[in-house]
Amino acid sequence: MPKPGIYLAGPEVFLPNVKDIAQQKLELCASHGCRGIFPFDAEIANFDNLTPQQQATCINEENERMMHEADCVVANCTPFRSVSMDIGTGYEIGFMRGLGKPVFGFTNVAGSLAERTAQYNDQLGPKSIDPYTAGTDIENFDLFENLMIGVALKNFDCDVVVTTVVKGTELTDLRGFEACLKHVQKVFDVV
């Protein structure tokens, strides 16, 4: 039986040490009997000669091709640049759900979206709140993220893996990722 292919979604592609993180994740996948598919692996011909919009289109098409190839996704849902997860990772979760493929996720920040949003608003104070969102409701379903993501990750008797990590390692600590790999092994009956 071939090793299940796991699309590795998350904001790690933006980190300065992306190649190191990718290598660590790929090695962890292999040690769990799986094949990691890291988006950074894409080789696009003449990439530097393309306009930024053409580059974006090529990256999108290549990532979607890799998701079609994968059997499931493990997504890093740790908040990134806001109280919420990386929006591109959210898209990838939705894309894989739309393909009918299993989705697994982890976050290295505990607490619900409502708690993080309220804390963020308290830190900013009333004069700093975005005028476009002032007076709007805060979603409160006691989920780690927006309900569409939180519910999408409740599958196969597995919920999102929440790991509390040392401050400053939120995007690099891989314990939650490894816990997701154990769920993948169970679902795909990998020994």
Instruction: Check: CB of residue 184 under 8 Å from CB of residue 34.
Output: yes
| Predicted TM-score (pTM) above 0.75 | yes
Q: How far apart are the first and last CA of the chain?
A: 11
Q: Which uninterrupted H or E stretch holds 132? A: none
The pLDDT of 49-58, averaged and rounded, is 93
- What are the extents of the domains in the chain? 5-111+143-187
Confidence of residue 124 (pLDDT cuts 50, 70, 90): low
Asked whether residue 47 carries a pLDDT value surpassing 70, the answer given is yes
Give the alpha-carbon dihedral of 141, 145, 147, 150, to 10 degrees. -100
**Contact residues for 14 (Cβ-Cβ < 8 A; gap 6+):** 80
**Contact residues for 92 (Cβ-Cβ < 8 A; gap 6+):** 7, 9, 63, 67, 73, 75
Confidence of residue 155 (pLDDT cuts 50, 70, 90): confident
Q: Which residue has the tokens 């963020």?
A: 120
**pLDDT for 3:** 95
Identify the residue with better confidence: 157 or 63. 63
Topology of domain 5-111+143-187, CATH: Rossmann fold (3.40.50)
